């Protein structure tokens, strides 16, 4: 899989995760006593980042073998490149 293809898949994951932000925020609001979240948007930011990083590894695992450290760094670099956009979509 080329790096461009991987990036496109990761962008799809990010877009999917970001589209669920309203439901995550509602869920946090409804369950704030159980979750004890101080900043719901930061919590959702963590969820989105975890999904993007985790799914990037899962995508590579499905294509070949367990991602190498180099593969994981490539995924991290792709996701981190999109952090400003992710933060803007959550916090604005």
Range of the domain at 85: 3-91
Average pLDDT, whole number, for the chain?
A: 89
CA-wise closest residue to 56 among 43, 83, 74: 74
Q: Based on the structure, what is the number of domains in the chain?
A: 1
The pTM of this model reads: 0.82
Percent of the chain residues topping a pLDDT of 90: 53
| Mean of pLDDT values over 24-48 | 93
| Mean of pLDDT values over 23-37 | 92
Residue 64's pLDDT is 66
**What are 77-86's pLDDT values in tens digits?**
999 999 999 9
């Amino acid at each position: 899989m080329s790096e461009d293809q991987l990036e496109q898949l990761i962008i799809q994951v990010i877009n999917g995760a970001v589209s669920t932000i309203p439901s995550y925020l509602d869920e946090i609001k409804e369950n704030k006593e159980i979750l004890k979240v101080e900043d719901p948007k930061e919590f959702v930011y963590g969820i989105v980042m975890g999904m993007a990083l985790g799914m990037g590894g899962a995508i590579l695992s499905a294509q070949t073998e367990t991602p190498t450290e180099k593969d994981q760094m490539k995924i991290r670099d792709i996701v981190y490149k999109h952090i400003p956009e992710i933060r803007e979509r959550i916090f604005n």
